[in-house]
Chains A and B, each alone.
Chain A
Amino acid sequence: MEISEVKKLAEMLMFKLSDEEAQEIIEEFKTFDRQLALLDKIDTEAVDEMIFPFDVKTSFLRDDEADHILSQDDVLKNVAKTKQGHVVVPKVVR
């Protein structure tokens, strides 16, 4: 894996990496690969993925009744920039 590849992976996650950080990740991937080899040894033929700690099914669904709403003040309390009740970000390029 190249530094540029790792940096691209990071940018897809919306952050940048320094060369050192990218290099560390490359090293980490080497350890990771060896740990993966341990997984490869396990026969998982016909084994379903375990998504949840238990194989439970629920039947609970929320009633369609408004139970909780935030005031506009609370919505905007943690927002860095606001205008007329809206959250403001610089123009979206995409």
Chain B
Amino acid sequence: MDIRTLEEMPISERKAYALKKVKGLQDKLNASITIIEDDEVKADGKLMGIPVALKDNISTKGIKTTAASDILDNYVPVYDATIVKKLKEAGAIFVSKTSMDELAMGGTNRTANIGPCHNPYDLDRITGGSSGGSAALVAAGAVPLAIGSDTGDSVRKPAAYCGIVGVKPSYGRISRYGIIPYASSLDHVGYFTTNVEDAALALEVLAGRDDLDMTSSYEEVLEYSKLLDANVKGRRLAIFGNVYDAISDSSIKEAFDKIIVSLEDKGAIIKKVYFDGDLMKCLFPTYFIIANAEATANHSNLDGVRFGHRIDGDSMEDVMMATRTRGFSSFIKKRFVIGSYSLFEENQERLLKKAQRVRRLIVEAVLNELKEVDALLAPASGSIAPRLDDPSSDELSDEYLIAENHMVIGNFGGLPSMTLPMGFKDDLPIGINITCNAFKEEEMFDIALAIEDITGLKGHVKEVL
């Protein structure tokens, strides 16, 4: 479902159409935590009457917001996130608060407190995460736009697994005010659409300086959807060699190669680049340390005192202890213990600060390459969506460390990065990732449009039967 097609429908019917789909899919996909039935069109605007789904870590005044965690299972915000205000002003209608990994701290959407979200292409497979519910609803054609958040690749990976467009713009491009955080220095607001044009339009609505988020950018917001240009003649594009080499699945490489050849045919100048291999093996550990360290602090507010699901106790300490013990899954507790371990004074030098220094080296290396080229291209993942019962992968292999985690570079350096469909393997979608220089979203959309023309997958959705 895309915005253009929906616009042909009378406004009054758009919401009913989406709601019917969202509700109908719930049994199969388990994509919604809260279905919103009574939302109304607020004004006219670029998204007048367009149904939109919001990841459940986005603060919505008067609508339960749980971040898929038991500790917030009764939390009803008293304020709207900045993007919620912007979407309302643009006329959007909210139909779902979508499933996600608990507190956005995962990449599978298996850790949601309501149970896993299912991939529309194969209900036995994951959507990827953490923004899995949003991805599933767009992929299944329920809504043309769904908002997510992306700390490592939490929009771009599920977009790849679900065969849709997933955008994570530059750091500060979209206000984070009102997004329940994971790791503040890596968190971005991102979103899903079924095509590049909608993706460009959505950014016009979502982007812009917000004084409530001191890290939000003053960079001018362009009319991205009007500036779209699929001409890649003379565009300099680099294949991310380390990622390509780390992938063992030849059919994914072939799909990628086909796109590269077509781009070259259209006049793009292609080269392959390699970064220091040892540095690339550090992508995941660097991310893991920084993200979990920031996350333990970010979630220290979840104590049951002012909001959230409080468990009684004999003292204030007992209350906090009982609330947090019940409120977080084992998975989250694990992350917090490791995160706080990196923060201990005696460990910071070897862990957090080391990771922050390596982060700089990685970003500097990539920026150095991006001086020469307009974008870095790579398969978004080395595989199709894993099965729900798949045991976890080997966390020390190159395939895992590099191919499955390379998109975190966009978070390290705040670079705009997006994934779009590049084809199918065994009838399951695979995606291609584009990463550009900071605030070059316009260029990124142009390259994406060229790829979309090549694949012919514009607006592709999966009818779930």
Contact = CB atoms under 8 A, between A and B. Distances in A.
Given A31-B395, A32-B338, A62-B211, A11 B412 contact: no
Contacts of A77: 76, 78
Contacts of B285: 32, 35-36, 38-39
Interface string A56-90: 00101010000000100011011111000001011
A42 B356 contact: no
Given A31-B396, A39-B354, A49-B356, A92 B325 contact: no
Contact of B334 (A28, A54, A87): A28
A78 to B, nearest CB: 3
B337 A50 contact: no
Interface of A: 6, 9-18, 20-21, 24-25, 28-29, 31-32, 34-36, 38-42, 44, 47-54, 58, 60, 62, 70, 74-75, 77-81, 87, 89-94
A41 B355 CA distance: 12
Contacts of A25: 333-334, 337-338
Interface string B317-356: 1111100110010100110111011000000001101111
B337 A9 contact: yes
B63 interface: no
Given A13-B336, A39-B354, A53 B211 contact: no
A82 to B, nearest CB: 11
B244 interface: no
Nearest to A94: B317
Contact of A53 (B185, B308, B321, B338): B185
Contacts of A35: 284-285, 288, 395-396
A62 B341 CA distance: 35
A29 B359 CA distance: 21
Sort chain B's interface into a size bin: 35 or more
A18 B333 CA distance: 11
B321 A11 contact: yes
B185 A87 contact: no
| Most chain B beta-carbon neighbours within 10 Å: one of A11, A20, A38, A79 | A38
Contact of B306 (A17, A20, A54, A87): A87
Contact of B330 (A24, A78, A90, A91): A24
B315 A92 contact: yes
A77 B78 CA distance: 8
B43 interface: no
Interface stretch (B106-114, B153-161, B274-282, B420-428): B274-282
Given A15-B321, A16-B321, A92-B315, A38 B78 contact: no
Given A51-B185, A91-B316, 18 more contacts: A10-B337, A12-B340, A14-B303, A14-B324, A15-B321, A36-B350, A38-B285, A42-B357, A44-B354, A44-B358, A49-B360, A50-B356, A62-B211, A70-B79, A77-B76, A79-B306, A89-B319, A90-B312
